[in-house]
Amino acid sequence: MEAPYIIMTEASCELTPELAKRAGVEILPMSFTVDGQTYAHYTDWRELSFEDFYNKLRGGSVSTTAAVNVAELYRAMERHLKSGQDILFLCFSSGLSSTRDACAMAAEELRAQYPERVIETIDTLSASIGQGLLVLLAGQRRLAGDTLQQTRDFVLNTRLHVAHWFTVQDLIYLRRGGRLSMASAAVGTMLQIKPVLSVDQDGKLITTDKIRGRKAAIKSLIRHMEETALPEQNIIFVGHADCPEDAESLKNLILEHYPSCEVPVIPQGPVIGSHTGPGFLALAFLASHR
């Protein structure tokens, strides 16, 4: 008889407490620093609220983030190993964070200490609500009775079918992150250019379109969904960084195509929000390809 196992991931997945409960997963906090103060981000926003975080950014504060370190991961995983559980850890994309490497290091150390336990670490090649969607689907497989190996195989077979599409409101955040030059950001702002971005096969961020105007950018998100989404969609995630009206508009457009689909609207956390700023808008769904 196989040992029970738990699915773990990081707060970069953006799953709300309600969705995390539905998935039956454990979400580890990630840290960020604003105005010289470091906070742990839990998906219930217990240390700094959603509104306060984005108000700080709008007021000119700069937020920086850090990967979860090996010691934190070691302690979090060891608790479950001591209780006789195996672990399937679904990691934030290695194309965007070093957390996956830290997770692999912690797992290697723990395998030496607990040779009877199974510890699997999987690079989701996903981030934000894309990571969250994959984690939710994996959690549902576990709760339905799949073994660790079956759930692991599902994740490996599904991860490149999780499509991420998003746009941003203010180019200054992409410039700070080195994704735009100062000149490009200035010209783009003047022309009201709204980039549409995606996550590629390697789990890295790429710019796919440069759209003029916010409404056109939102329509571009839907166009990409129309082109690649699998015919059957039970759940599609919408994420937003303090732009609830745009998120509802995007949700309504999705429901025009998939009227019976569940479309949770999810607040964007500081792990990604620090680099995209207020006005970030995203959708994640299952697709034929990225």
Judged against a pLDDT cut of 70, whether residue 171 lies above it is answered with no
Write down the pLDDT at residue 176: 60
Instruction: Answer whether residue 172 shows pLDDT above 90.
Output: no
Run of H or E residues at 249? helix 244-257
Average pLDDT over residues 50-74: 94
Q: What percent of the chain has pLDDT over 70?
A: 92
Backbone phi, then psi, for 204, in 5-degree steps?
-105, 155
Query: Predicted confidence band at 191 (pLDDT cuts at 50, 70, 90)?
Result: very low
C-alpha triplet 157, 158, 163: angle, nearest 5°: 145
Rounded to an integer, what distance in angstroms lies between the CA atom of residue 172 and that of residue 176? 6
Indicate the pTM of the whole model. 0.92
What is the pLDDT at residue 195? 85
Q: Share the mean pLDDT of the chain.
A: 91
Residue 139: C-alpha distances to residues 85, 129, 132, 176 (Å): 15, 15, 10, 35
The answer on pLDDT for 270 being more than 80 is yes
- For residue 187, what pLDDT is reported? 37
Q: Lowest mean pLDDT: which of 191-195, 261-265, 266-270?
A: 191-195
Burial of 83 (0-12, 13-18, 19+ CB in 10 A): exposed
Average pLDDT in the 280-285 region?
96
- Asked if the model's pLDDT at residue 185 lies above 70, the reply is no
